[in-house]
C-alpha cells in the first residue's frame, strides 16, 4: 500500500482496551460495523456516534441504578432534559398542568414554545391539595409537571398522592428532581413517570459541565424519550459524560456534608433579628416538613430566607458585602452562592406575599461557621441600609 493509505489505516488498536476504573472516552462520529447486515439493524448495534459510546453508556447505566429506572436519556443541559421530556409525550391539542413554583426557564418554554405548537398550559398553586388538583383536570390533560420543593420558595407537594391519582386518570407525571439529585429522593419509586435532573448541578458537582437526564418509570416511556432524542438531534460529548460519572461517585458524600451545613446555617438564620422566615422544608418546624421527612433521606444545600421589609437597595447591600458567597444563578457545586429572588417571583400566576425580600442560598463545602460569619456581615449591611 502507498504511504498515504498506510497512514490513514495506522493507529488502529489490535487488541482489547486496558481496564481502568472509569469507562474509556471514545471520540467518534462514525461507528464501524461488523458486516453489511448490521448497517440497518438499529436494534442490535450502535450505528452512529451521536447516540453515545462507552462513557455515555456507563453514565446511563449508573443513572438507571440511581433512579431505579427502566431507561434514562441524556441531554446537553438540564433545561433540554425538561423540554425534551415534554416534547416526547405532548402533542397539539393536549393540556399540561404546571406547578406555579416551577424553574423559570421551564415556564418560559411552556409559555413561548408549547403554546405556539397548540399545547394548552395551566399553572396551579403548589398549595392545592392533590384531590382538588385532579378535580381541575380535563380529557385533554396529558401531563402534570411538578417540582418539589419548588424553585426559590421551596413549597412541597405530595408527589406520591398526585402520581397515584394521575395514573388512575391516564395522566402522566413529570418531576424536576434536581434538588433531590436522585439520591435524596427517588420520584419513580413514589409513582412518578418521569424524573428529570439538571446533572449540571449536584451530579456534576463542580460547576464546570452542562448536562441533563430524564429517567423513565417504564420501558415504553423510555422508548418515547429515545425517539425524541433521535428526531431532534441531541447529543452529549464523551468527555462530559465521563465528568458526570466521576461526579456521581462522590454525590452521596457531598450531599451529606452540604445538607448538614445547610441545616446549621438555616437554623442560625432563623434566630437572626433581620430574618422573618427560613424557607427550607428540611428545617424542623418548616411548612410541609412532614412531607420532606416522609419522602427524603436527607437535605441538600439549597434554601431561601425571607428578610424583614426593607428597600431593594438593602438586599443589594447584603449581597455586595458577601465574600464567601458568590453571586450566581446555578448551584449544586462545591461553592456557596447567593441571589435575590423577588424579580423572578413576579412571573408567577398565584402570587403570595412572603412579607419581605427573599434571598436564596446554596451552601457549598466551606466550613459552615465561616459561612455564618459571612452572612452576619451581610445582615449587618442590610440592617444599616434599612435605616
Beta strand 194-197 with 212-216 is antiparallel
Beta bridge partner(s), residue 215: 72, 195
Q: How far, in Å, CA of 126 to CA of 377, rounded?
A: 34
Q: How far, in Å, CA of 70 to CA of 366, rounded?
A: 37
Stated as kind and residue range, the H or E segment containing 344 is helix 342-345
Q: How far, in Å, CA of 361 to CA of 357, rounded?
A: 13
Cell of 260: 448538614
Going from the C-alpha of 278 to that of each of 11, 108, 255, 343, 349, the distances in angstroms are 60, 27, 20, 19, 23
The residue length of the chain stands at 387
Q: How far, in Å, CA of 85 to CA of 219, rounded?
A: 14
Beta strands in 147-199 (DSSP E): 172-176, 194-197
Which residues are catalytic, by number?
Answer: 50, 103, 176, 201
Closest CA to 329 of 343, 317, 339: 339
Q: How far, in Å, CA of 96 to CA of 140, rounded?
A: 8
Cell of 296: 427524603
Closest CA to 56 of 214, 203, 199, 237: 237
Q: For the residues of 257-273, what is the DSSP string, one character each?
A: HHHHHHHHHHHHHHTST
Amino acid at each position: 500500500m502507498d504511504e498515504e493509505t498506510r497512514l490513514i489505516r495506522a493507529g488502529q488498536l489490535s487488541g482489547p482496551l486496558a481496564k481502568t476504573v472509569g469507562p474509556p472516552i471514545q471520540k467518534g462520529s462514525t461507528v464501524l460495523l461488523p458486516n453489511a447486515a448490521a448497517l440497518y439493524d438499529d436494534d442490535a448495534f450502535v450505528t452512529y456516534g451521536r447516540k453515545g459510546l462507552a462513557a455515555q453508556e456507563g453514565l446511563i447505566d449508573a443513572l438507571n441504578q440511581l433512579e431505579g429506572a427502566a431507561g434514562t436519556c441524556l441531554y446537553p443541559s438540564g433545561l433540554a432534559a425538561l423540554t425534551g421530556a415534554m416534547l416526547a409525550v405532548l402533542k397539539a391539542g393536549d393540556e399540561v398542568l404546571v406547578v406555579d413554583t416551577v424553574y423559570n426557564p421551564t415556564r418560559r418554554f411552556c409559555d413561548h414554545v408549547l403554546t405556539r405548537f397548540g399545547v394548552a398550559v395551566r399553572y396551579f398553586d403548589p398549595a392545592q391539595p392533590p384531590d382538588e388538583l385532579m378535580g381541575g383536570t380535563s380529557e385533554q390533560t396529558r401531563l402534570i409537571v411538578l417540582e418539589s420543593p419548588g424553585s426559590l420558595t421551596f413549597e412541597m407537594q405530595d408527589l406520591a398522592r398526585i402520581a397515584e391519582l394521575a395514573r388512575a386518570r391516564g395522566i402522566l407525571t413529570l418531576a424536576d428532581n434536581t434538588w433531590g439529585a436522585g439520591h435524596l429522593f427517588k420520584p419513580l419509586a413514589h409513582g412518578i413517570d418521569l424524573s428529570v435532573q439538571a446533572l449540571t448541578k449536584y451530579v456534576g458537582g463542580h460547576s464546570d459541565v452542562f448536562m441533563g437526564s430524564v429517567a423513565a418509570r417504564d420501558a415504553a416511556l423510555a422508548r418515547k424519550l429515545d425517539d425524541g432524542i433521535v428526531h431532534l438531534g441531541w447529543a452529549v460529548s464523551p468527555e462530559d459524560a465521563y465528568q458526570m460519572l466521576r461526579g456521581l461517585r462522590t454525590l452521596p458524600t457531598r450531599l451529606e456534608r452540604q445538607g448538614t451545613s445547610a441545616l446549621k446555617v438555616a437554623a442560625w438564620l432563623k434566630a437572626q433579628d433581620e430574618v422573618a422566615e427560613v424557607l427550607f422544608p428540611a428545617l424542623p418546624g418548616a411548612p410541609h416538613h412532614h412531607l420532606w421527612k416522609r419522602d427524603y433521606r436527607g437535605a441538600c444545600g439549597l434554601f431561601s430566607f425571607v428578610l424583614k421589609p426593607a428597600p431593594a437597595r438593602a438586599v443589594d447591600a447584603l449581597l455586595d458585602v458577601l465574600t464567601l458567597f458568590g453571586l450566581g444563578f446555578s448551584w449544586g457545586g462545591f461553592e456557596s452562592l447567593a441571589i435575590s429572588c423577588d424579580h423572578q417571583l413576579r412571573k408567577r400566576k398565584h402570587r403570595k406575599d412572603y412579607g419581605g425580600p427573599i434571598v436564596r442560598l446554596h451552601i457549598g463545602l466551606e466550613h459552615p461557621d465561616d459561612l455564618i460569619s459571612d452572612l452576619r456581615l451581610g445582615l449587618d449591611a442590610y440592617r444599616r441600609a434599612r435605616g
